[in-house]
Chains A and B, each alone.
Chain A
Amino acid sequence: MKLKFAMSLGIAIMVAAVACGGGPPEPPPAPEPDPDSIAREQARRDSIAREQAREDSVRRVQELEEQRIRREREEAAAREAAITAEVRSMVQAVINFDFDKSNIRPGVDTEVLEQKLSILQVNPALMIEITGHCDERGSDEYNMALGNRRALSARRWLTDRGIAENRITVRSMGEEQPVDPGHNEEAWAKNRRDAFAITAGGARLVKPAGM
């Protein structure tokens, strides 16, 4: 191995000597390493690394902060959506009626309407539609009028308490759309109802205080 290396070095020198012809030029003196510049370079690099690390940490903090804000926003939106959904379902809660009657029954039905009243008060952009329904027993045409009367009496209950009439439209389905297709008192009781739907301003709903 040593021998082989020496040989090939020797050949290389010879070839070089033949190729150059004249004497080899004086090589420029290698610059003496400046101990100061080495230190400066090292310092520069260290400074860059430190700066890098500082920026990284700031970025990390910012990212974490952004994530936190995003998460909080998402959570807030989710809370808001949940509240909106909850309020919406309160708005949509039905009220029921006695056979061939359109008066609001004190008790459960007025509680349901009280909820709607408060919701309409704190959500001034909210518009609703009340649709009256009947059971199958009255005559078909009469039930259209009765369903309408049921819708009107819920609207009057709300407007009497300060809700503007133009925020509430009324419709009647008569006996055309039962929720329970049965032919017994249980089904009839469910079918005699006012349904409430949101027609505008329901994208984001506020829950009344104390609810």
Chain B
Amino acid sequence: MMARHSALLALAAIVALPDAPRAQDTIPPVERGVRIGITYTPGLRPGMLVLGGARAIRLDSVRALLQRDLAYSDRFEMITLPGADSLMIGVGGYGGDEDTTPPGAASGAPFVNYSLYAALGADYAVGVLPDPDTSSLSVMLYDVHGETVRHGIRMDLKSLGDPDFRMAAHRVADELVRTASGEPGFAASRLLFVRRGRLYRVDADGASLAPASPAGVSAFSPAWHPSATRLAYSELSNGWGKIVLVDLESGERSVVGPTTELLNISAAFSPDGRTLAFTRIGGEGSDVFSYNLARDCCLERLTVGRFSDNLSPAFSPDGRQITFVSNRAGGTQVYVMAADGTGQELFAPFDYGVTGNSAGPVWSPDGTRIAFHRDVAGSPQVFLMDARSRVVRQLTSAGRNEDPTWAPDGRHLAFISSRTGTRQVWVIDVETGRVRQLTTVGDTRLPAWSPLIPEPSEP
């Protein structure tokens, strides 16, 4: 007890010196917090400290989830302390114990040691506090330099077994990211991918892996509806493939009318969810078609291949354009057209005979960039193109890296990489190039990252 108390005092003493000049700073503390979010630059990330506190399995689970989600957002310098020390860098939890209640802490109110957090390098601190009166908990975001509560989020304290428990914590993490950085998070999202002919889904933190299509059918090229409550994928059978729509809330399945014939793959929803673009492969070649889902009618052919293939459409976030790949000029390259099929032109520049084949273009959520993969010396690598300047840069180089898909934060991409010898889903922060492995099951293909998943509607 005494040792812990004195260690705390020692840390508090260190705080005193760096604290002094900051006191002369004339910028109001809260504005300083805002400034950090808006003027974010890579390499200068704000420090983030997730505080310990009252021990309870559900509180600790929430803390662990938030800690990891905030780290995966790649927007903060996460401050971690070895083992037992982090228990002391807590908030609240001192109630009633006179010996350990720091002087000045109001009875019942959580004690927030801003000076200490600042000394540890934190710009923000996150506290998870039980609400004594209700079955919820409060997640507090503290602005360390402003010495103020920046944001408070009430979270219904679901039991650990509740299917939405993790997603609820992920939504809180995204709100913390949004408040602290001014940018969206992606914690409350999922990915679909194909493994050995079956569709699987996994949370953005790698948890809750589960099949998403029936066993015994061959699934291909999954896609998310913009609501994140529906998905589409192709079911292959003897060289043909139909596009199946699944409502995730009701479990209802339906086949997109005109796709019962020929091979129909690579479905892509328009941002308003009313139109489905896809690749239709058959006796007349491979071409991009669109179908009006809202009116269940009007199959339209957007490309006329004749002696070339046109495939893998993806809508721009404003719904006005579609990017796709075509081999009309020789090698397979990235093209763009209006959503009605007019104005088709080469999008990503290439040198004929030099630049490798390109495939799988996807528009970033903010519309400024296109990710795709391109063959480099016989291996696909993930590339990024600025939609305005059309400047292309290579993001990966180790092993095969293919089929990128954007996270809802517009800053991360998931892709399939063979860098460890097996095909796994990896995530890259396109700002810093930092990567992490999402799956460990192997043989994964064709990932599709969902938009942010809304709270389940009440039954």
* A interface with B by C-beta (< 8 Å): 100, 129, 131, 137-142, 144-146, 148-149, 152, 155, 165, 169-173, 176
Contact = CB atoms under 8 A, between A and B. Distances in A.
5 contacts: A131-B239, A148-B282, A152-B283, A172-B239, A176-B220
Given A171-B238, A171-B239, A171-B240, A140 B283 contact: no
The 7 A-B pairs at the shortest CB distance, nearest first, are namely A171-B239, A145-B286, A139-B359, A145-B309, A148-B281, A142-B359, A131-B239
Most buried by B among A129, A145, A171: A145
Contacts of B332: 142
Given A140-B220, A148-B309, 6 more contacts: A141-B312, A141-B359, A142-B325, A145-B309, A171-B238, A171-B263
B402 interface: yes
A149 B285 contact: yes
Contact of A148 (B285, B325, B359, B360): B285
B357 A142 contact: yes
B221 A139 contact: no
A148 B309 CA distance: 10
A137 B332 CA distance: 14
Nearest to B194: A140
Contact of B309 (A137, A149, A165, A171): A149
B231 interface: no
Interface in B281-323: 281-283, 285-286, 309, 311-312
Contacts of A144: 263, 265, 279, 281, 286, 311
A145 B303 CA distance: 14
B242 interface: no
A155 B197 CA distance: 28
Contacts of A142: 309, 311-312, 325, 332, 357, 359
Given A141-B221, A144-B286, A172 B360 contact: no
A173 B218 CA distance: 11
A133 to B, nearest CB: 9
B188 interface: no
Given A149-B309, A176-B236, A141 B266 contact: yes
Contact of B373 (A100, A129, A139, A152): A139
Contacts of A149: 285-286, 309
Contacts of A148: 263, 281-282, 285-286, 309
B445 interface: yes
B403 interface: yes
Contacts of A169: 283
Interface string B153-180: 0000000000000000000000000000
Most buried by A among B265, B283, B325, B357: B283
Interface residues of B, number: 32
- Chain B interface secondary structure, helix, strand, loop or mixed? strand
A139 B285 contact: no
A140 B236 CA distance: 13
A100 B311 CA distance: 16
Contacts of A172: 239, 263, 281
A105 B168 CA distance: 59
B92 interface: no
B446 interface: yes
B380 interface: yes
A123 B178 CA distance: 70
A11 B378 CA distance: 128
A95 B271 CA distance: 43
A139 B403 contact: yes
Contacts of A146: 309
Contact of B402 (A139, A165, A170): A139
Nearest to B332: A142
Contacts of A173: 239
A152 B285 contact: yes
B359 A170 contact: no
Contacts of B309: 142, 145-146, 148-149
A167 to B, nearest CB: 13
B226 to A, nearest CB: 21
B380 A139 contact: yes
B283 A141 contact: no
Nearest to A100: B357
B281 A176 contact: no
A141 B240 contact: no
Nearest to A129: B239
Contacts of B283: 152, 155, 165, 169-170
Contacts of B403: 139-140
Contacts of B380: 139
Contacts of A152: 283, 285
Nearest to A137: B378
Contacts of B221: 140-141
A156 to B, nearest CB: 10
B279 A141 contact: yes
B265 A141 contact: yes
A171 B309 CA distance: 15
Most buried by A among B221, B263, B311: B263
A164 to B, nearest CB: 13
A146 B360 CA distance: 15
Contacts of A131: 239
